[in-house]
Structure 1
Amino acid sequence: MDGDRRIAAEIIEAVGGKENIVSAAHCATRLRIMVKDKEQIDQSKVEHIEKVKGAFFNSGQYQVILGTGTVNKIYEEVIKLGVESSSKGEQTKEAAKSGSVFQRAIRSFGDVFVPIIPALVATGLFMGVRGLVMQEKILSLFGITPDHVPDNFILFTQVLTDTAFIFLPALVAWSTFRVFGGSPIIGLVLGLMLVSPSLPNAWEVAGGQAEVIKFFGFIPVVGYQGSVLPAFIAGIVGAKLEQQIRKRVPDTFDLIVTPFLTLLVMIFLALFIIGPIFHSVEEVMLHATVAVLEWPFGISGFIIGFLNQMIVITGVHHVFNLLEIQLLEKFGNNPYNAIVTCSVAAQGGAALAVGLKTKSKKLKALALPSSLSALLGITEPAIFGVNLRYFKPFVMGLIGGGVGGFFASIFGLKGTGMAITVIPGTLLYLNGQIVLYLLVNLIAIAVAFILTWLFGFHDKMLKNQE
């Protein structure tokens, strides 16, 4: 039996055998297994299997961390050994039935916003590149100044950087309908209605170039360019309304009546009730977020940098996607990213210290690649495979993240995007911030590394764990 097949067989056995497995799927780094009875899982046995970097039960799935590339090969062998396959989406729907109401709500929130993030990542990178090429030092290499940049080039960059935020409500409504059981195309049209050119443009209203329309003399109506919460709530209500209408309309008329009534009712609710109410709520949330980030003496940076990875392992960190999107839409920058990236880098520094200090070949082979993975922005192998397993390295990583976040806040670092951190995140700080960005990351890594080396790990922990 070759290595990958042997590992696959050992994983199957450790989770209770094929009879305890409902289905298997995989993502970029993890083998995701739906089990009938999680009590049959031998956690220690799984963690000691070759190439396994950690394992945990989350979102109704038993997730075995194997790493990029490796997970694909192991998954193929698991399927060949007779385990039923399923898509990640199918497992997510099944897993959504488990957990508390709060857990299911957070999971649904993440399912809505995660598919939108790649578009916003691309937008952030475009902003970073524009910030780089528009610097006087860079332009001087071509013998020009910012005043000599052609208007057509500025227009071209605006298309790249503004489109996703102009039509953000359409993206949010589309994804929300998809997650909550509606027709995504109806959600997309509803979202586009919220940014219709027939409505006063939200940014022009804010700039005093247009006026809000008052319906019935007291209901303010405006376009919702860049807005998130109104589209999200309208998407939930719209998806549920569509389901109810479809149940009551004869199949013969479903194609005509269901979308007509759904859009008619929802645009009324969205413009006159949901929009005004939740836009105000969104503004309150934004002001509260900005107020926290502006706490003096780097306090907010330390607290967020320290707590971030604790929040990540609970799975509720997707809530912050909404806040990051709001910051980017309102200000064109994201100070939260700079702080969070330090917490990610610090976990990599802690795992690196474990990998260099231990004499165990198995742990060294696990910790060193995991630290590299963290520096690429993926902390799961480092956290679940190394740091959290021995606990103290995880705590030292939290401290390192807090110290790095403190300096990120003191220096006023602000990324041009979201969702990418550490090495990939450098692309968000090309607008004159790159040196300070690298500095705060090095501080976070160094603090976590030194604390872990001195106080956070020794090989006796291996024996104690066993």
Structure 2
Amino acid sequence: MGAYQQAAAQIVEAIGGKENIVAATHCVTRLRFALKEEGKVNKEALERIDVVKGSFSANGQFQVVIGQGLVDKVYDDLIELTGIGRATKQEMKDAAEAKLNPLQRAIKTLADIFIPILPAIVTAGLLMGINNVLTGPGIFYEGKSFVEVHKEWADLANMINLIANTAFVFLPGLIGWSAVTKFGGSPLLGIVLGLMLVHPDLLNAWGWGAAKEKGEIPVWNLFGFEVQKVGYQGQVLPVLVASYVLAKLELFLRKRIPDAFQLLLVAPLALLITGFLAFIAIGPVTFAIGNAITHLFVTIFDTVPALGGLLYGALYAPLVVTGMHHTFLPVDLQLIANTGGTFLWPILVMSNIAQGSAALAMMFVAKEEKLRGLSFTSAVSAYLGITEPAMFGVNLRFRFPFIAAMTGAAIAGMFITLNKVIAPSIGVGGLPGFLSIVPQKWTPFFIGMAIAIVVPFALTFVFGKVRKTARS
């Protein structure tokens, strides 16, 4: 047994014993369990364990927050103690997915597709933010941008913009790789499919509206049937559906074509058939659906902006708890592609900051040294865009900080929506998030951030003190 055998034993006992564990693995900071019955978990006993910083259930997995560097040591002792064997991530996913309903599986599928490409999107957003600082008028000089005054910086800003835009210009390539991998196909074919949908010979999707008005959309003439030669830059739905078709078609062909001919036939046939379907049916239909979704959100937030911002700000944190927040990343990307910016992502930033502020207030309210330390570290994490430690380790545990955070996020979301704050890219969903906001809207965004910091902190602090006084 190792140095953390006692902690491992306490964790096993708190989650219902080793007979309640189907499979166990770990990530950078958390132990992940597939349990037979989550109702057997004693959360109070679990969170009294010194090494445990919080726990929560998501996507069919019960997760125990331990911390970077420490989690692998606890996991090693836990495996040795229980003798259950080390589970691969795929085995954990299979065990967890067996407990999900169809809606939860659909949400998890979206999460599994978009989470792997999120670092590229966030990095692109940060770099675009740097470009915004250099090229935005009025930030450093009245009525002029930094590069207009210091022309020697112009080419550097242009190069940064090119590097930043790459992830968005070739977004279907990233999604194709991740989606085809998720659906069981060859990742390389997914990349080719995604890049095929943004080929330079196709009409750029961002120029489709103007070309339609002029009646200048290029077409292929396939035996008398006209197919529009349109690319799908920045689009999400076309490549998602096409990736599913490609992966399933590839698997179908591999089962039926002899091994000796697979190299010559499987990939060419799968790509050719999927390509035809993508340009003839999948692309036009899903492009229309994507435009309809965009129009729906734009209409709601244009017609009743205060209500839209208020509700999304209040409900984003509960969406994170259920895992349904992953469904809005494709919507953000669709809004950016169709309108040049998303008004939803800035509200996400308000929600994350609000959760951090509520957790920070708990540091001044709590008496336990462990809880005070957890509150501070989780608040810092939330301010940098990672809210799970704050939400599951502190705020949900005591409920009133979570409600206070929802209240602050709702007010901040309403304020920035009324002031038409938009983000042309997705960046870090915390205090550095201003870099992804158009510079002209920095002032209302900073005011919104102040609301998201002050309101949850004040509500949590006051209610916490009143609650302690009433109990004493």
TM-score by length of 2: 0.89
1:162 aligns with 2:165: yes
Q: Aligned partners of 2:210, 2:332: CA distance in 1, in Å?
A: 22
SS, match of residue 23 in structure 2: strand
The change in CA–CA distance for 1:276 and 1:355 in structure 2 (over 3 A counts) is same
Unaligned runs of 5+ in 2: none
1:245 aligns with 2:253: yes
User: Which residue of the partner structure matches residue 29 of structure 2?
Assistant: 29
Q: How does 1:67-82 map to 2 (within 5 A)?
A: 67-81=67-81, 82=83
The change in CA–CA distance for 1:401 and 1:3 in structure 2 (over 3 A counts) is farther
User: Which residue of the partner structure matches residue 44 of structure 2?
Assistant: 44
Q: CA deviation at 1:460?
A: 5.4
User: Which residue of the partner structure matches residue 180 of structure 1?
Assistant: 183
User: Which residue of the partner structure matches residue 66 of structure 1?
Assistant: 66
List per-residue Cα deviations over 1:281-311 (Å, max 9, x = no partner). Answer: 0111111122223344532211111110011
Q: How does 1:81-160 map to 2 (within 5 A)?
A: 81=81, 82-136=83-137, 138=140, 145=148, 148=151, 152-153=155-156, 155-160=158-163
List per-residue Cα deviations over 1:331-363 (Å, max 9, x = no partner). Answer: 443322211111111122222222212223343
Q: CA deviation at 1:457?
A: 6.4
User: Which residue of the partner structure matches residue 291 of structure 1?
Assistant: 299
The change in CA–CA distance for 1:32 and 1:345 in structure 2 (over 3 A counts) is same
Alpha carbons 2:134, 2:147 under 8 Å: kept: no
Q: How does 1:327-366 map to 2 (within 5 A)?
A: 327-366=335-374
Q: CA deviation at 1:414?
A: 2.1
Q: Aligned partners of 1:146, 1:217: CA distance in 2, in Å?
A: 54
List per-residue Cα deviations over 1:201-232 (Å, max 9, x = no partner). Answer: 32344343962315444443311122110110
Q: Aligned partners of 1:322, 1:198: CA distance in 2, in Å?
A: 26
Amino acid at match of 1:383: M
Unaligned runs of 5+ in 1: none
List per-residue Cα deviations over 1:21-79 (Å, max 9, x = no partner). Answer: 34322234321122344344333321221232322332221111224444344334434
Q: Aligned partners of 2:10, 2:146: CA distance in 1, in Å?
A: 64
Q: How many residues align?
A: 464
User: Which residue of the partner structure matches residue 15 of structure 1?
Assistant: 15
Q: Aligned partners of 1:7, 1:463: CA distance in 2, in Å?
A: 32
Alpha carbons 2:217, 2:228 under 8 Å: kept: no
SS, match of residue 335 in structure 1: coil
SS, match of residue 117 in structure 2: helix
Q: Aligned partners of 1:458, 1:244: CA distance in 2, in Å?
A: 64
Alpha carbons 2:238, 2:283 under 8 Å: kept: yes
Q: CA deviation at 1:156?
A: 2.1
Alpha carbons 2:31, 2:64 under 8 Å: kept: yes
Amino acid at match of 1:305: G
The CA RMSD measured in Å over matched residues stands at 3.0
User: Which residue of the partner structure matches residue 379 of structure 1?
Assistant: 387
Alpha carbons 1:343, 1:444 under 8 Å: kept: yes
The change in CA–CA distance for 1:437 and 1:234 in structure 2 (over 3 A counts) is same
Alpha carbons 1:172, 1:232 under 8 Å: kept: yes
Q: Aligned partners of 2:471, 2:65: CA distance in 1, in Å?
A: 23
Amino acid at match of 1:171: L
Q: Aligned partners of 1:266, 1:143: CA distance in 2, in Å?
A: 47
TM-score by length of 1: 0.90
Q: CA deviation at 1:409?
A: 1.4
List per-residue Cα deviations over 1:404-462 (Å, max 9, x = no partner). Answer: 11222133222342252222324324835445433312211211122222335666599
SS, match of residue 372 in structure 1: helix
Alpha carbons 1:35, 1:62 under 8 Å: kept: yes
Q: Aligned partners of 2:321, 2:183: CA distance in 1, in Å?
A: 25
The change in CA–CA distance for 1:158 and 1:368 in structure 2 (over 3 A counts) is closer
The change in CA–CA distance for 1:370 and 1:144 in structure 2 (over 3 A counts) is closer
